[in-house]
Structure 1
């Protein structure tokens, strides 16, 4: 069902009529268009009818998103898949029956051994194919499985137990979303598991604190968001530089313990956040340039440090948008006095020291220290870099689904210890590294009732901004 998700009659009536019409014969796929869509209502109706709900974003290519969803569900391999375990051997079993199994998808079932000393488990698997019924029995050995897990770097500690908790929470939330009965009990179960295993859910919140031994560093909270107003973090945005909401945009937050930490960032659809600690405020702006353009971010003639960034766009331009969303696909950091250059893309990191070149990928975990250079690569996450006695930089790798029809991997840049750069530093970021002054006047209602407009006076220029 394709809809704007805004019911024109009672929601309960619609759900009742849809369920009666389908009679459990077919799954219901709900595709909601726009940010005003009542997505919770669509998801609830889809779950009641063994289907899926997806949001179609208006500022991305709708045709590509529809094609991506079609590719996801167009090739069902099995129906009515069930995994049966001996009842007296398993407790806390997650969902073990599935209406459909699609090509390229996966089925994960988790549970607890009733006897902690048990070492083997028998599983009966049944499902219906296009022409016949699939049925087989398999037996798993717990010790062999644990040994195999040890060889996988991403499986560590209580990974399997946390996976069970994650699946249980996810399914309890779905059940809570659909049912009216037992809502309080389901809520209590979700809260207990969320707090025990430290998961952030719609029923819990996250508090980030700065460790005592991180007095000279800024913590970064980084989350890909959907429809969240970027001005909840950045309080000022020059209107003449276009800022829009986008599902692929990243919010960046500099976290401090007591006093502000100066942190200059560029991330997402080049989204600049400039800390102004003396005013306990920040300036936020975007730059509208084309994919392939190279932006001069930092240039300090005294320390010799320069930082440039090359833009990339989405895999396919959105014909409905006034301007294309762009991100940083390549960042170059150099120090001409040390004859050092580090080039970072979403695929590899290259270090050039004079005529010598060394290359790493994001699959490497590296700590490198040599004269004038400290570089740490945290596998598939970020890179920490400092050159000489200058500023330090953190480059964050943002990865998306490889088969995503529109978006691709991109980079974010965070500058720390910017006070170590000279007052002659310039560039899109560099020009703000030393104290700037501005005045905010005439705060008044803007076109968006939630975001008042104001007049900013900065560097003897008068700008209209959104507060």
Structure 2
């Protein structure tokens, strides 16, 4: 937004270009000082907290002034020094829930203008299944030339694109132009000065709020997308369809005196909605605390309809009182999770989490709580902290949650605080994979961002970036390991998928690409079994009938139709079968060229070797979903 003490904004333009989830935004604003004396002009921009400024410059009387970008702590000190000496400087400060504010002022001569150019960039984060581009526009007056332009390019293809704004009226809505193709989207909004007016002839502007674009990309079956630019790679991992993992969640609720009034009312309302959303396979517990820690029940309870109903009745009785005994409340929740595991009352394939809601400074100080919680937490538990209000020590909650495999969120005191609480819960309500590990070849990568993650939630995305040492990608194999609700997954990028059932038998599924000139050109999946001896002796099926070996003999080698492929006779299962010698490639050791291995091809779709007929194993519409 642009704020003028005296003057007229003649132009405000926002250009955003998004490529592969990376947004590059340029805000350009020109202001004219119409007064006959010099005036101070303020330039203020609110941008997402996850964005970072890459350039700021000003053009005054055809002269350019380029700013120097500093880290926040250094910038704050230099800003204070510059302002005290009368120099021009800008500073970024927090501004509300999602935004930070950049502000700068400059003195402009009479009848002169100034052009501000601010560039910031952001890696868009996927939440609840969508990427969000948020632009806050508050010009505070009519603008002669106003325009917002966003161009999106996603190599995977776009699955959905939506654009709206908090200030759009019925008259402004048709001015949002959106063009979407397979991989590209163009969104623009450019109201005239008359269309900006609150009423005919008045100077008030309708443009005051957020312009929001949300979109998602197509999800391929290979469970990942790798993009390579200038010697670096970025790996986006967001499986399209996986069953949710049950969760065991302890809600630790601060009911100290400072939580009284509206805070406690909104907490109760949010908890009632959250409890309704629990899945019946989940287990949960309620631990309110003040100077004394209390529990609804001594152990975690399965989220049946009756248990949820009883818990909702209990939530309605919670009142605020006493001091903030946070350590006792959190450690009680930890002990309940540990005991549930020790007594085997929680599902083996499930995730343990504590959600702490508090508004104040804990008894004993933050260091005391942080130390005790850190030493008590189990290796696979996650702590999520929700800080209520402006007075909460949010930095403490943020550090403590990150130290314990979780994250923190500030809940702002407002009429929608209940929705804020519910929104956070929705982000973590549906875990899909646990202990996700993305692996890359050591000989091809010499720098890597975080590649180990405690959980992957539905609607989110894991992003890993790295620097390549070898541009030859033929041997660039990527493995993704994760623990699901009933199986372990090992995904090898563009090569194979490994599924492990109940910590025992592993199936490796490999996509075989047939030579383009093959007379029956059709790619196919090869199913390979590891540790087949762990299967039951009675296992059967197209593959299962061979898991425990078969006795056969091949004799009578003779010329076949092709000189390099002789025929022979195979004696198996009391039958004589005509077979042909051929070759296949084994890519287990050489992923680029493969290794030629000899094999026998059974004619007529394996008739005589397999039990029954090939048609007995065909399942129609196997991969069709409603």
The reply to whether TM is greater than 0.5 is no
Computing the radius of gyration from Cα coordinates, the structure with the larger value is 2
Higher strand proportion (structure 1 or 2): 2
Normalising to structure 1: TM-score of the pair? 0.29
